Structure 1
């Protein structure tokens, strides 16, 4: 076979991307999956899905039921997650976030930027029966998230941040879909120190967020979110003050971890 007609060699990056697709499919499934289901959900061939799943299971990143032969997330991920939480400071942040939830009566999230999305790293549910939950591990678009606005407003030039997003899809009739309007909103966030998501992603849900800063740069953001009938305009100032206090508590512990000598 000539060089021109030879199939392109698989790259290491491609293999990693495929492995991540398999793990993400299992994360989102909520139940073990067989190879045929994995192949369908990841758009991989059955042979590729089988090879990826077996390799990941051999390393403990997946676990296979010996009877059903279905796969689920594996025990090695537990250890990795615990170490990541420790080194990123998330385990040290949780007590303060739980206190914030108790003080405000609402659900709390801590998020970081992942491309054009906010990745929810920590979640503390509200004690109220009527509440809004954004579970850890989920992602939401930056431009329709209070945490996202903080992460955009407090990293670099606002114009550059907004232009890097490209189009701004509408999620609800209150979503900001114009770059000029989003830039103005981010300038306001930078000026007053907190952001609001006023039913821009979920009707009937309002969120307030502040950046968690290292110097003048946001390394994360934290948000209080709940039904608009409880998170009313007259509460915004008090909630923002509680968020700012909590951000100051957790900021020193977030970020790179250095093991004690």
Structure 2
């Protein structure tokens, strides 16, 4: 009887089972052109695009011919400049539709916790204002009496100041936030400013509120020290989506005895860096700074 032969392992299945190692270098090289186009302010000439991708014009042209066939790149017949094509747009829109900002933020919270060593939270805009939707307390820190679902005040919390500053500066959001700010301000005017543990840095007029929010926008970060609760400080950094809208706020807070509340301190720096990276991952491109 003939010896039964073992079926040959399917080549495609074998390739899929192998660890991702070598990859396809030409794909990685070609991607540099697409990445350069995505980073540019507009369409580019061949020489400029090749230089941005770190390759010769002749090499770049070969890739661009294939990319044009696939619709990833288009070339203007008059100016001869290259730009991203309809296939790149479809891929980008599909990716954006699947992004979950809160999920992205939660995936980074553990690393940020290890870096800051203080309680962290994620806040989004809810029906009644900025709302805590995720909370993780650092070990060996003084607990802060806040809960998931808490709606934060706009003027005395770092979270509220962040949302008021970056949502309330223009458009429909400003029309919604402005009356909330006025109502909260009227309540703050009735609070005693002196006592055993007085709250500080609490605005008392609309000009003070505007100055506070302008400073928040200028710094790209909101801060409170003794404003929400006596002895408590915190920061909130904005995370923007691809349309430039405020997607969520990243919050770090703790006792002022242990939390460095300096604008340039380690917690503020780490929080801001994480928020900016999250914004970039969500497709946000900040406007260039004014000269």
**TM-score, with structure 2 as normaliser:** 0.51
Structure 2 equivalent of residue 224 of structure 1: 252
Structure 1 equivalent of residue 76 of structure 2: none
Could you tell me which of 210, 214, 237 is aligned with 1:183? 210
Instruction: Provide the C-alpha distance between the structure 2 equivalents of 1:245 and 1:165, rounded to a whole number of angstroms.
Output: 28
**Residues 1:201 and 2:228 are matched in the alignment:** yes
Structure 1 equivalent of residue 163 of structure 2: 151
**Residues 1:102 and 2:130 are matched in the alignment:** no
Choose 166-175 or 139-148, whichever is displaced more: 166-175
Structure 2 equivalent of residue 118 of structure 1: 130
Residues 177 and 254 of structure 1, relative CA distance in 2, 3 Å threshold:
farther
Deviation of 1:143 after TM superposition, in Å, equals: 1.4
**CA offset digits 1:76-101 (Å, max 9, x no partner):** xxxxxxxxxx9744233213112111
The root-mean-square deviation of aligned C-alpha atoms, in Å, is 2.7
Instruction: Provide the C-alpha distance between the structure 2 equivalents of 1:96 and 1:141, rounded to a whole number of angstroms.
Output: 25
Deviation of 1:252 after TM superposition, in Å, equals: 5.5
Contact 2:120 2:137 in 1 (8 A): yes
Residues 225 and 233 of structure 1, relative CA distance in 2, 3 Å threshold:
closer
Give unmatched runs, 5+ long, in structure 2: 1-97, 192-197, 284-291
Higher strand proportion (structure 1 or 2) = 1
Structure 2 equivalent of residue 165 of structure 1: 181
Contact 1:146 1:208 in 2 (8 A): yes
Q: State which structure, 1 or 2, has the greater radius of gyration over its C-alpha atoms.
A: 2
Equivalent residues, number: 170
Residues 164 and 236 of structure 1, relative CA distance in 2, 3 Å threshold:
same
